[in-house]
Structure 1
Amino acid sequence: MRDCAAETLEDVQGRADPRAIPIQRVGVKAVRHPLRIADRAGHQQQVAAYCNMYVGLPAHLKGTHMSRFLQILQEQEEALRVDNFDRLLVQTQERLEAESARIELQFPYFVRKKAPVSGVESYLDYEVEWSGEITGDEIRSQLLVHVPVTSLCPCSKSISEYGAHNQRSRVSVQVEARSPLWIEDLIDLVESEASSQLYGVLKRPDEKYVTEYAYDHPKFVEDMVRDVALRLQQDSRVRRYSVASENFESIHNHSAYAFIEGEN
């Protein structure tokens, strides 16, 4: 039986709009949706992502087709990778018949890590924000990774007869890349510059190791952002970057913070 109603219902969004004001971004926000993300080793993990999807709306149109954004997500069969994210942007632009489109994804990303002495394995989670925008044929995308690490104060170590205060820090690195730069690449870079990296599970020999390692690698918040920025400046894959570090101080009721941005 034919759906006559579907053939006769008016497409209200397609009406002309007399106000003649374009909208830079219109779409759906905070859509929680399962996605498969491919890692550097070629494996995949299922994540629950928050998705924001927008298109630019020209001045003469009343509205966009909101349901199409959800359909695009539902139809994703291939795992998203840093080298195929552009495909999702192009698909959104084409399906919504728009000049521009923007997608923002936020999700937890898990890395299986071995403790430094015992070798016991456990997962550590990282917060990832992946965004991109297409205007005409030009595509720009950014990858933002929040990496928790340990920082130990050089001043405290220098002036104390024994011990030094340390704390957990959150280092946030955002990169616009010329060529594929994996989530794990940014995690590895940050963790290698920290006083110590974090682990999900540590045995007593591991605790001894990370405590002493941090003591031997003290870092101010300024050191952290400068050292990470220097590594990014030396990476030919990086076009633009920003680095922020927040130390959740253990001897103060405030945080220490530093930020650097640059381009290669």
Structure 2
Amino acid sequence: MDKARQFAQKQLPDKAQRHKLFGSVEPGPRTKPNEKSGMTDVQNTKKDFLFDLDAVGIANVQHPITIASNLEPETQTTIASFEFSSAIDKSSKGTNMSRFTEQLQTLQESGFSINIETLKHFARDLAIRLDQNDAEIKVSFPWYYERRGPQSGLTGMNHADASIRVHYDAVSGHTIDVSLAPFVTTLCPCSKEISEYGAHNQRGEVSMTVSLAEDFDETSIDWKEQLLEAAESNASARLHPVLKRPDEKTVTEQAYENPRFVEDLARLVAADLYEMPFVNRFQIQCRNEESIHMHDAIASVSFDKQSQS
């Protein structure tokens, strides 16, 4: 006989009784209005609330998006994290949070392809909808790009974290910052110099944030591709998802031929960004995950091309 059949079946109370057992109670009397027109709007209370607030909004809003890329895959769907905000003055108690997600849904229904022009319209329309003088949207997403082995030609998918921040001000217009954080290989120049043979290397991350020129044309320039090239071309070697032995030999030798301190990498990437006409300002943060030390090595540089003497 099946062992399960040897035990008497437990007699359970019905579902309503079980809910009552675990604390559920009958609904109480309803005295407050159900219609929006009769509800108290606490958020829109007008008083002197002591301080203006720089930003009020919502963050960590997950949503599928479509993005375009000059590198394969040229059209890709990914998951983005959104942050929406606007400033409010001290006379306002709060903002209407639901309008942020309502605006997002409106964009979704009209076909949601993430690009700078779309986000500029989004930020302006959001400010109008909130009845504020400014609004800001930041969208962060993983960007994927195809990478071939240098000898085998075998392909795989690399990725880097990307983001776009668009701020709209009714007086000054739009400010646009974009960021990319790819990984690279760096080989230590000191280790190469002092060792009889070999040199240690590490994986490095190059985080770049740039402020785009007002006339930036995304139809002719893919900023993701440009920033990726600035990071990878100045490293000791690029990272690859697929490496066969001939590929590994090539990449290892390339790294040995191009040693880079973390300081070197930051300065070389800065030089490339400085030469890009569509970049007004930039911030670079490089971090090497050291392979023979317990610490990471870091270097950063900021530069504003518009304020240079």
Instruction: Provide the TM-score with structure 2 as the length reference.
Output: 0.80
Cα distance, 1:65 vs structure 2? 0.9
Aligned residue in 1 for 2:78: 47
Cα distance, 1:114 vs structure 2? 1.3
1-side partners of 2:177 and 2:36: how far apart? 40
Match of 1:66 among 97, 105, 109: 97
Cα distance, 1:43 vs structure 2? 3.3
Aligned residue in 1 for 2:17: none
2-side partners of 1:40 and 1:91: how far apart? 29
Task: Give the 3-state SS of the residue equivalent to 1:207 in structure 2.
Answer: helix
State the AA in 2 paired with 1:170. Answer: E
Aligned residue in 2 for 1:235: 276
Match of 2:177 among 142, 147, 153: 142
- In structure 2, runs of 5+ residues without a counterpart are 1-33
2-side partners of 1:252 and 1:217: how far apart? 21
Cα distance, 1:83 vs structure 2? 4.2
- 2:62·2:79 contact (CA, 8 Å) conserved in 1? yes
Cα distance, 1:205 vs structure 2? 1.2
Question: Residues 87 and 39 of structure 1: is their aligned pair in 2 closer, same or farther, counting only changes over 3 Å?
Answer: farther
2-side partners of 1:260 and 1:190: how far apart? 14
Which string of whole-angstrom CA distances, capped at 9 and with x for unpartnered residues, describes residues 50-78 of structure 1?
21110111222222111111112222224
Cα distance, 1:95 vs structure 2? 1.6
- 1:82·1:182 contact (CA, 8 Å) conserved in 2? no
Cα distance, 1:126 vs structure 2? 0.5
Aligned residue in 2 for 1:169: 204
Match of 2:261 among 196, 220, 235: 220
1-side partners of 2:156 and 2:267: how far apart? 30
- 1:143·1:175 contact (CA, 8 Å) conserved in 2? yes
| RMSD over aligned Cα atoms | 1.9
Aligned residue in 2 for 1:195: 236
Matched, 1:35 2:65: yes
Matched, 1:91 2:118: no
Cα distance, 1:20 vs structure 2? 4.9
- 1:40·1:182 contact (CA, 8 Å) conserved in 2? no
Aligned residue in 2 for 1:111: 145
Task: Give the 3-state SS of the residue equivalent to 1:110 in structure 2.
Answer: strand
Which protein is richer in strand relative to its size? Answer: 1
2-side partners of 1:210 and 1:82: how far apart? 35
- 1:233·1:263 contact (CA, 8 Å) conserved in 2? no
State the AA in 1 paired with 2:132. Answer: A
Aligned residue in 2 for 1:209: 250
Which string of whole-angstrom CA distances, capped at 9 and with x for unpartnered residues, describes residues 1-59 of structure 1?
xxx82343343322213325322211111111212222236933222112111011122
Aligned residues: 262
Task: Give the 3-state SS of the residue equivalent to 1:196 in structure 2.
Answer: coil
2-side partners of 1:96 and 1:209: how far apart? 56
1-side partners of 2:197 and 2:266: how far apart? 27
2-side partners of 1:81 and 1:113: how far apart? 23
State the AA in 1 paired with 2:212. Answer: A
Higher RCO (CA < 8 A, seq sep 6+): 1
Percent identity of equivalent pairs? 35
Instruction: Provide the TM-score with structure 1 as the length reference.
Output: 0.93
Which string of whole-angstrom CA distances, capped at 9 and with x for unpartnered residues, describes residues 125-163 of structure 1?
111122121222421121111110000011111121111
State the AA in 2 paired with 1:40. Answer: N
2-side partners of 1:37 and 1:91: how far apart? 21
- In structure 1, runs of 5+ residues without a counterpart are none
